[in-house]
Structure 1
Amino acid sequence: MLRRSLKWFAMFVVLSLMFTINGTAFADSGKEEESINEKFGLPIVVYGEALSEAQKDKVRELLEVTDPSKVEEITVTGEDLVHYIKGDPHSNMYSSAKITRKDAGEGLVINQVTPENITEVTDEMYSNALLTAGVEDAVVDVASPVKVSGHSALVGIYKAYDQGEGAPLDQERTEVANDELNLATDLAKKEGLDQDKVSELLTEIKKEIAEQNPATKEEIEQIVDDKLKALEINLSPEDRQLLIDLFERMRALNINFDNVRNQLEDLTSDIQKRIDEAVGNEGFLQSVSNFFKELIDSIKGLFS
């Protein structure tokens, strides 16, 4: 009788934990059909040139393109890679995106529909690069049917943004934004750094630039050093210099981060939330492990 009671108790504990961890899976996922913003035209879906027809159909499904008449579909090519970021025209491009432009002040929202297939670029990295490029108010959904780094998605986003109504993006800004993304992903591979920490560093530097409006390279250098120290990040002299050179290029282009201060603040909050959740999940999983260890030890004790 005691053995059966313990068995049922253990099953109850496991089921309770499963519902706690996966509770959000039962939330209503239904979405109301979104109206078209006539100022900006139809949402634009950009497909990577290397996609097969079957893969393109899969991407349509992932990006919820159920009615082709309500989106504009275009393809991003190697020529676009050269035009926007001076990239290799022979690159295979799989990353795809849907861009829905929004009214001023609505902010930039990044949704990675297939995060398991975007291996190097986080939502926050995309946000930082796109704000640098001049994309401020839009919903951007990114998807790939195969594993990719995620870098080429930027080119598709730039092309889609230019296809809509309004002023085109500045090419020098798209190039420096691409270099920012490359540096971010490179730094995230360094020992002792992770993607969230790198995104936090870039965002904090931009916020300080918005606050101080530096007029010289020396002032940029001081801001970078201050943020490295505040976030307790140690970079090699070479990587530190790459960071300084990147933000000096932004200063020379007169990129005004004060215009997107609220979005940078939101980005900081999102990054900090991710960091806190990572720490919290580690603690939760450890507590679950400790609980079951103690439970097993208690059960063993009953029969010893």
Structure 2
Amino acid sequence: MNKRILAICLAIFMALAVIPTGFADSSDQVVITYGETAYMNQQYKSIVDDYFASKTNVDINSIESKVVTAGDVNKISGGFSGKQYNSDQIFSSALLDLNQNGEITVEVDSSITTITPEMYMSALKSAGIQGGHVYVTSPVSATGESALAGIMNCYEEATDVEIPENVKEAANQEIATQAEILNNSNVSADDLSKLVDDVKEKVNEENITDHATIVNIINDYSTTYNINISDNDIENLAQTIEQ
């Protein structure tokens, strides 16, 4: 784990540690980010609010909220993937609840079709985020790729710790790369997530920075888990993990 991410981990941990326990049910520890498409459509927003209301005891109307725009998402995604979202494509919304202690957990609604809880957790840990409970939903079927920007914004709002843009970009690239691999292959999301986590763990533990070595590690784990992905996807994944 590089020094920048380690510093962010420590900052967020300290921010979480000083939240008063006497406010266990406080809405101050819950933040919502709405995808702008969902927010601008009252029917869509009601669907999102109803889902989040079923997941927390806090009055949804009293919760701090922000709107994530296409511009926000494009800022951290367009640079590496070339993918650009329009303002009518940002449906995914997220709720962060810091009342629930322990390691980070992510619950994804069935409306999210591609990105799994494990993928979100892996990317968030790459961004230095280690705690809290996250819920992700959409009023219509959506891949969930754009939700990561909202989740990271939730943490910044709740902890008052800014996540550097390059760290956000790296986390978002991890999500996008895995989504692309799923689209290009028959590998299951769970198997891919396990492979990525194991490769990242080995790379971090041994402080590996050499690209060819990371490629070899990915190939080794692909063989171990009987996962067949293309050389191009392996290259892209290695570049993502290098960050």
Q: Are 1:123 and 2:117 an aligned pair?
A: yes
TM-score, structure 2 length as denominator?
Answer: 0.78
Contact kept in structure 1, 2:49 and 2:60, CA below 8 Å:
no
Shift of 1:77: 1.1
Shift of 1:69: 5.7
SS at match of 1:161: helix
Q: What is the CA–CA distance in structure 1 between the aligned matches of 2:230 and 2:92, rounded to whole Å?
A: 32
Q: What is the CA–CA distance in structure 2 between the aligned matches of 1:233 and 1:60, rounded to whole Å?
A: 38
Contact kept in structure 2, 1:85 and 1:155, CA below 8 Å:
no
Shift of 1:101: 3.1
Gap regions ≥5 residues in structure 2: 1-22
For 1:275, the equivalent position in structure 2 comes to none
Q: Are 1:97 and 2:94 an aligned pair?
A: yes
CA distance change for structure 1 residues 209 and 37 in 2, over 3 Å: closer, same or farther?
A: farther
- The CA RMSD measured in Å over matched residues stands at 2.4
SS at match of 1:235: coil
Q: What is the CA–CA distance in structure 2 between the aligned matches of 1:165 and 1:186, rounded to whole Å?
A: 31
Shift of 1:68: 4.0
Q: Which has the higher contact order (CA 8 A, sep 6+)?
A: 2
For 1:21, the equivalent position in structure 2 comes to none
CA distance change for structure 1 residues 192 and 144 in 2, over 3 Å: closer, same or farther?
A: closer
Q: What is the CA–CA distance in structure 1 between the aligned matches of 2:156 and 2:132, rounded to whole Å?
A: 13
CA distance change for structure 1 residues 198 and 89 in 2, over 3 Å: closer, same or farther?
A: closer
CA distance change for structure 1 residues 144 and 215 in 2, over 3 Å: closer, same or farther?
A: closer
Q: Are 1:57 and 2:46 an aligned pair?
A: yes
Q: Where does 1:40-51 land on structure 2 (aligned, <5 Å)?
A: 41-51=28-38
Q: Are 1:186 and 2:180 an aligned pair?
A: yes
SS at match of 2:139: coil
Report Cα offsets for 1:169-222 as digits up to 9, x if no partner: 121121121111111122123344111111111011012123312143343233
SS at match of 2:29: coil
| Rg comparison, structure with higher value | 1
For 2:74, the equivalent position in structure 1 comes to 82
For 1:245, the equivalent position in structure 2 comes to 239
Letter aligned with residue 42 of structure 1: Q
TM-score, structure 1 length as denominator?
Answer: 0.63
SS at match of 1:63: helix
SS at match of 2:124: helix
Report Cα offsets for 1:222-241 as digits up to 9, x if no partner: 32232222222232221221
Contact kept in structure 2, 1:43 and 1:70, CA below 8 Å:
no
For 1:106, the equivalent position in structure 2 comes to 102
Q: What is the CA–CA distance in structure 1 between the aligned matches of 2:70 and 2:25, rounded to whole Å?
A: 30
Q: What is the CA–CA distance in structure 2 between the aligned matches of 1:192 and 1:83, rounded to whole Å?
A: 30
